[in-house]
Structure 1
Amino acid sequence: MIRSMTAFAAGERAATGGSLSCELRAVNHRYLELSVRLPEELRTIESVLRERVAAKISRGKVDLGIRYRPAAASAGELKVNERLLAQLAELGQATANRFPSLQVNLTQLLQFPGVLEVAELDQAGLQAEALALFDATATEFVAARAREGEKLAVVMRERLDGIERIVAQVRQWLPDIRAALRAKLENKLADLKLPLEPGRLEQEVVLNLQKIDVDEELDRLTSHIAEARRVLALPEAVGRRLDFLMQEFNREANTLGSKSVDSRTTQSAVELKVLIEQLREQVQNLE
């Protein structure tokens, strides 16, 4: 499946004592580079998240961020033990006559053991909810990459069609180009008005035709086109394969241009390079 390296996905859900939000975004990169931002409550699941990202994504500079927002009356909020506070008030009234000068401020009262209670946060539950939210967000993220990848694949197939048309056109021109070269050589030798050894003309023609022979380059280009189309249909990430294939395309186009003795094939070589460069630019976006 063709997937773009560029994508964004976000999700949010209610969670233990509050709410969770998750964002995944990525841009092009040669390898997988992952940056993770987590609240303190979820630090312990960073390694698990990294493993899950690596299982779903093979390339790209990826930013993963999860936020936890406690509710107004969430776990972890300070609460007063009303029953204990009432008991302390009764005790204070009962002993007021015995200790008339005794004064207790609010800070001292709150420091009395048991007056303030801190509800325990369900760490395991919150972590499980965060992982579930990540999985849902990552699924949408991968789907977004696939949708963008399909758009890129359409453009790439169009460029491959263009390369194929140029290759077919050059093949059609080759007989005329060879005939024109032979006629040109014959005219040059005739202008010299020198006696030729038997078979010398044919030798010169063969040598010059070998120098401009591009059948092998055209065959390789045809083979590369077929391979690119095959790779585009594979279910796994194919960016690196296609990146290597683009180098092979370029090599054949350069050789075709260097062997050209005809303005048509020279122009075709230039057009090939343009299409191949456009292909290469799209390949750089693929996972």
Structure 2
Amino acid sequence: MTGFAAGTGAMDPFRWSWDIRSVNGKGLDVRLRVPDWVDGLEAAIRPLVLARAHRGNVTLSCRVSRDDAVAAVTLNTTQMKATVQSLLEIEAEAMEQGLSLAPSRASDIAMMRGVLEQGVAQDDTAPLRAALVAELPALLDAFDAMRQSEGTALLGVLQGQLDTVASLTQEAAALAEARKDEVAATLKDNLARVLDNTDGADPDRVAQELALLAVKADVTEEIDRLHTHVDAARALLGEGGAVGRKLDFLMQEFNREANTLCSKAQNADLTRVGLALKALIDQMREQVQNVE
């Protein structure tokens, strides 16, 4: 989702500059910073941006100047009154707390956001709006090109990480197979101890407890699900489009299986593989945050 693009344009007597940037994010947050005196500009360009971006924090800025006219400065009376009232409340609260504040000056209030508004002497801004909207697709194309380049590099990283997950999962399967005799011997010892201390115990309950011990030592399901998740992740990467959220959910499933594998391991080598999987999955989760 990381991307950046900038551009400039002109239409006498106006000149303007654009820039758009994005960083990763779980959802989509689009912020537009455009001159509000160009009627309808924000409403016209927001759908164009939303058509390109589906995830991440996206900020688009546009600055417009006019060569042959001095911008008119007007006082926003409503905003000025609200600002003064807020300052009075702050000063009153400060006095109650025993704090002494310096008196506010008119120039301080004028510098506060929204009190003074700068506009351009222009009756009809429709031609300017049309020129800006017409230029935006080229900026978005450059923005997409950078994100595509980032995505191509990230694709290679994620594919390599999935290959490693598959290799570690295969190693876990081999270790689980090799430890069957060890697990069987442990269960026999546990069975012997249970049988030596089951006088008067319910046979069905004893059988249930032994079955539970066997289930807790079996990691077949976890290994099978890890293989399935690898296949699903590869399919999503091959699918293209906005798959970041699906991959994000899949990373949670990867992590759940790796945690369970570690808790059931009862074997130093299998625990080592489980911890390696957890570390790698954490790295993948960080990378997936950059996938739209």
Structure-2-length-normalised TM-score: 0.71
Unpaired runs of 5+ residues, structure 2, are 73-119, 197-207
Aligned to 1:151, which of 150, 153, 174?
A: 153
Q: What SS class does the counterpart of residue 56 from structure 1 fall into?
A: coil
Letter in structure 1 aligned against 2:141 = T
The one-letter amino acid paired with 1:176 is A
Report what 1:246 is aligned to.
251
Equivalent residues of 1:228, 1:245 under 8 A apart: yes
Aligned to 1:284: 289
Give the RMSD, CA atoms, in angstroms.
Answer: 3.2
**Does structure 1 residue 44 correspond to structure 2 residue 40?**
yes
Partner residue in 1 for 2:174 = 172
- Whether 1:268 and 2:288 are equivalent positions in the alignment is no
Cα-to-partner distance string for 1:217-274 (whole Å, 9 max, x where unaligned): 1110000001001111223211110111111111111111111111111111111100
Distance between the aligned counterparts of 2:15 and 2:124, measured in 1? 13
In structure 1, the residue matched to 2:137 is: 135
Contact 1:12 1:133 in 2 (8 A): no
Which is bigger in relative contact order (C-alpha 8 A, separation at least 6)? 1
**Is structure 2 residue 234 aligned with structure 1 residue 226?**
no
CA contact (8 A) 1:178 1:209 kept: no
User: Contact (CA 8 Å) 1:17, 1:75: kept in 2 or not?
Assistant: no
Deviation at 1:20, TM superposition (A): 2.1
Indicate how the Cα distance of structure 1 residues 41 and 260 shifts in structure 2: closer, same or farther if over 3 A, else same: same
> Deviation per CA, 1:43-64, whole angstroms, max 9, x where unpaired?
4221111111111111222211
Deviation, 1:129, is 1.4
Structure 2 distance, partners of 1:58, 1:26, is 11
Partner of 1:112: none
Q: Relative to structure 1, is the Cα distance of residues 54 and 119 closer, same or farther in structure 2, using a 3 angstrom cutoff?
A: closer
| Rounded Cα–Cα distance in structure 2 between residues aligned with 1:69 and 1:229 | 49
1:75, 1:120 within 8 Å by CA — same for their partners in 2?
no
The Cα of 1:121 is off from its aligned counterpart by: 6.9
Q: Distance in 2 between matches of 1:35 and 1:170?
A: 47
Superposition deviation, residue 181 in structure 1: 2.4
- The match for 1:11 among 7, 14, 24 is 7
**1:185-226: CA deviation from partner (whole Å, max 9, x where unpaired):** 55787899x8xxxxxxxx999765433111111110000001
Q: Aligned pair in 2 of structure 1 residues 261, 39: CA closer, same or farther (>3 Å)? A: same
Give 1:236's aligned residue.
241
Mapped pair 1:24 → 2:26: no
Instruction: Compare 251-260 and 174-183 and name the one that shifted more.
Output: 174-183
User: Relative to 1, partners in 2 of residues 1:120 and 1:252: Cα closer, same or farther, differing over 3 Å?
Assistant: closer
> Displacement of 1:120 after TM fit?
6.3
Structure 1 segments unaligned to the other structure (5+ residues): 78-117, 195-202
Measure, in 1, the Cα distance between the counterparts of 2:228 and 2:190. 38
TM-score under structure 1 length normalisation:
0.72
Residue type of the alignment partner of 1:234 = E
Counterpart position of 1:256: 261
**Structure 1 residues 182 and 119, CA, compared in 2 at 3 Å: closer, same or farther?**
closer
* Structure index of larger Rg: 1
Give the superposition deviation at 1:70. 2.2
C-alpha spacing 1:186/1:31, structure 2 compared with 1 (3 Å): closer
Question: Residues 76 and 275 (structure 1 numbering): CA distance in 2 closer, same or farther, change over 3 Å?
Answer: closer
Whole-Å separation in 2 of the counterparts to 1:142 and 1:241: 21
Distance 1:182 1:216, change over 3 A: same
- Cα shift at 1:31: 2.1
Identity %: 39
Q: Secondary structure at the match of 1:249?
A: helix
**Kept in 2: contact 1:182–1:205 (CA 8 A):** no
Matched residue, 2:204: none
